[in-house]
């Protein structure tokens, strides 16, 4: 048991997640999809007897066991603000290892729909992380969590890439989408997609910068695996087929990584 947990152990209950220390049974690892609908699928992917602990607002939580160790699956909702609440409250309950399991929109030309992208770091366009650490502070994955995810992707023989993601505060203008209500992108963001491509940013998503910044600042460990659900060179729209492929592959890698994560 870590120093942090020993210090905090008690009957702590957190407001938004509607979880308490007793209920999470000392879980130190949490898998974090954005979508509450993905939570049971992930949890039952490693423990058919996983059960729901709470479902409050966008935060749905399941607890399962992997090799006898408790593992949480908790949805963060979309974007930095809601993710910051999930990470903050899980950290207060004693969680130490966080893995975002999400989807992304491909930017780099060599990436295909269905590929897995594992973040080594992210561009901090999320908006929320600056309230935890100044913008000069890096948003990087913890090397042990990164290694666990890479090892899992390799062992499953998935097509995967490791590199920098851009975590944006908005899905439409922030990712330079023109199929929006206004049909155009504010001046400050025009050309941003091409610029990120030039700078070798692999894909867009919306939560990892908040998670990485907070986990590093708290002295905790975080990683992020995403599945590519659309490629922005070809389309702005996420199709059902693309979503299914990307989701499945990211979930498979995260679940396989538990083998290493529960030993960290």
Catalytic residues: 16, 89, 177, 232
- Name the residue nearer to ligand URA (CB basis): 45 or 242: 242
- Name the residue nearer to ligand URA (CB basis): 206 or 211: 206
Q: Is 171 in the site for ligand URA (CB under 6 A)?
A: yes
**Beta carbons of 249 and 227 less than 8 angstroms apart:** yes
- Name the residue nearer to ligand URA (CB basis): 229 or 253: 229
Report the DSSP beta bridge partners of residue 48: none
**List 33, 77, 94, 105, residue binding ligand URA (CB under 6 A):** 105
**List 204, 213, 247, 251, residue binding ligand URA (CB under 6 A):** 204
- Name the residue nearer to ligand URA (CB basis): 64 or 83: 83
DSSP string of 166-207? EEES-SSGGGT--SSSSSS--GGGTTHHHHHHHTT--EEESS
In a 10 Å sphere around its CB, with 0-12 CB exposed, 13-18 middle and 19+ buried, how is residue 219 labelled?
Answer: exposed
| Cβ count near 125 (within 10 Å) | 21
Handedness of CA 236, 242, 247, 252 (dihedral sign): negative
Closest CA to 255 of 62, 55, 18, 110: 62
Among the candidate windows 97-105, 138-146, 151-159, 208-216, which touches ligand URA by CB under 6 A?
Answer: 97-105
**Which 224-243 positions form the footprint of ligand URA (CB under 6 A)?**
229-230, 238
Q: Which residue is nearest to ligand URA (CB)?
A: 105
Closest distance between ligand URA and the C-beta of residue 198, in Å? Answer: 19
Residues that bind ligand URA (CB under 6 A): 103-105, 171, 175, 204-206, 229-230, 238
């Amino acid at each position: 048991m870590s120093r942090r947990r020993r210090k905090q152990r008690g009957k702590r209950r957190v407001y938004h997640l509607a979880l308490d220390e007793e209920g999470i049974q000392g879980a130190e690892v949490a898998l974090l999809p954005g979508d509450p609908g993905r939570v049971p699928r992930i949890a039952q992917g490693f423990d058919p007897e996983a059960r729901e602990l709470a479902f409050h607002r966008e935060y749905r939580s399941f607890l399962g066991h992997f090799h006898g160790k408790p593992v949480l699956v908790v949805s963060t909702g979309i974007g930095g603000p809601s993710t910051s609440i999930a990470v903050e409250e899980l950290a207060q309950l004693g969680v130490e290892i966080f893995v975002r399991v999400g989807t992304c929109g491909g930017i780099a030309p060599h990436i295909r729909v269905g590929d897995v992208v594992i973040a080594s770091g992210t561009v901090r366009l999320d908006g929320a992380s600056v309230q935890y650490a100044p913008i000069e502070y890096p948003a990087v994955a913890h090397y042990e969590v990164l290694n666990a995810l890479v090892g899992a992707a390799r062992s499953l023989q998935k097509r995967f890439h490791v590199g920098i993601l851009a975590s944006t505060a908005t899905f439409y203008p922030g990712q330079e989408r023109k199929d929006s209500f206004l049909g155009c992108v504010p001046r400050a963001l025009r050309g941003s997609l091409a610029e990120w491509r030039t700078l070798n940013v692999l894909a867009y998503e919306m939560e990892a910068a908040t998670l990485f910044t907070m986990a590093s600042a708290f002295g905790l460990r975080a990683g992020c695996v995403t599945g590519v659900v659309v490629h922005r060179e070809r389309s702005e729209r996420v199709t059902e087929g693309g979503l299914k492929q990307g989701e499945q592959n990211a979930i498979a890698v995260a679940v396989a990584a538990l083998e290493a994560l529960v030993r960290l």
